[in-house]
């Protein structure tokens, strides 16, 4: 039996806690195509046991903060976990996805997409969802003090998707945005991940997918 707790916290936040511990891929990081990236930054431990949403919809965000690794400064993709067990509803709406630069310890302006507007990333019912960042951005240049990757909820509850969190408790680098300001997210370590590369251009490897991509370059 699955139980759901809805609590109004800070500017209309709502928390969904699942009574089950069943996840599709517990303890794993999910699949990352080898041609896409050479590094994956994560705050969560891969054991996604619950999810949360905002009561309010458009203009509300959640994200995870990272420092820029010197060896892999190029943002290749943003990855996150969507709760797929029928909560809050059985329709998958997708998310708005973006990358923000950190300014004085707080998320500032969007540095990807380049136009400053989050990009829509659909979800057809999977768990680990990847949004490729094209063109890639050099985070050392655009976000020298660190960056945040995150998602935006598109509609008001319950017509939105649950954003996964792990079972290790609240982390210091998880953020939430509502009511015009970023605050510490109180719900556990979120699943906003950054897929990075050492190169500004997607590579081609020897896998089947890499060979297919090379044929059409």
Q: What is the mean pLDDT of residues 33-46?
A: 77
Q: What is the pLDDT of residues 51-89, one digit of tens each?
A: 988 888 888 999 999 999 999 999 999 999 998 777 898
- Asked whether the beta carbons of 19 and 3 are under 8 A apart, the reply is yes
Q: Out of 65-74, 89-98, 178-187, 195-204, which region has the weakest mean confidence (pLDDT)? A: 195-204
Instruction: Give the domain range for residue 157.
Output: 13-215
Residue 2 lies in a domain: no
Q: What is the pLDDT of residues 93-127, one digit of tens each?
A: 999 999 999 999 999 999 999 999 999 998 877 78
Residue 4 lies in a domain: no
Q: Which two tokens stand for residue 38?
A: 């050479």
Residue 153 lies in a domain: yes
Residue 35 pLDDT exceeds 80: no
Residue 163 lies in a domain: yes
Residue 3 lies in a domain: no
Residue 6 lies in a domain: no
Q: What is the pLDDT of residues 140-152, one digit of tens each?
A: 999 999 999 999 9
- The percent of residues above 70 in pLDDT, for the chain, comes to 76
Number of domains observed in the structure of the chain? 1
Residue 190 lies in a domain: yes
Count of all residues that appear for the chain in the document:
217
pLDDT band at 2 (very low <50, low <70, confident <90, very high): very low
Residue 5 lies in a domain: no
Q: What pLDDT sits at residue 85?
A: 75
DSSP string, 23-69: -SSTT------TTT-SEEE-SS-S-EEEEEEESS-TTEEEEEEEPPP
Q: Is the peptide bond before 158 cis (omega within 30 degrees of 0)?
A: yes
């Amino acid at each position: 039996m699955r139980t759901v707790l809805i609590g109004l916290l800070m500017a209309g936040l709502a928390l969904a806690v699942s009574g089950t511990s069943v996840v599709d891929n517990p303890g794993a990081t999910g699949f990352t195509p080898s041609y896409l990236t050479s590094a994956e930054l994560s705050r969560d431990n891969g054991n996604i046991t619950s999810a949360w949403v905002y009561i309010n919809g458009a203009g509300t965000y959640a994200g995870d903060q990272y420092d820029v690794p010197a060896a892999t400064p190029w943002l290749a993709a943003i990855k996150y976990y969507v709760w797929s067990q029928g909560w809050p509803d059985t329709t998958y709406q997708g998310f708005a996805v973006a990358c923000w630069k950190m300014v004085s310890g707080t998320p500032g302006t969007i540095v990807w997409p380049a136009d400053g507007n989050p990009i829509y990333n659909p979800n057809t019912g999977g768990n680990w969802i990847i949004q490729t960042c094209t063109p890639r951005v050099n985070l050392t240049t655009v976000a020298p003090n660190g960056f945040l990757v995150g998602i935006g909820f598109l509609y008001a509850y319950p017509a939105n998707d649950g954003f996964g969190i792990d079972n290790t408790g609240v982390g210091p680098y998880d953020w939430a945005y509502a009511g015009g300001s970023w605050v510490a997210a109180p719900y556990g370590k979120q699943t906003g991940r950054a897929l990075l590369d050492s190169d500004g251009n997607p590579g081609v490897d020897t896998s089947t997918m890499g060979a297919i991509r090379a044929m059409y370059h």
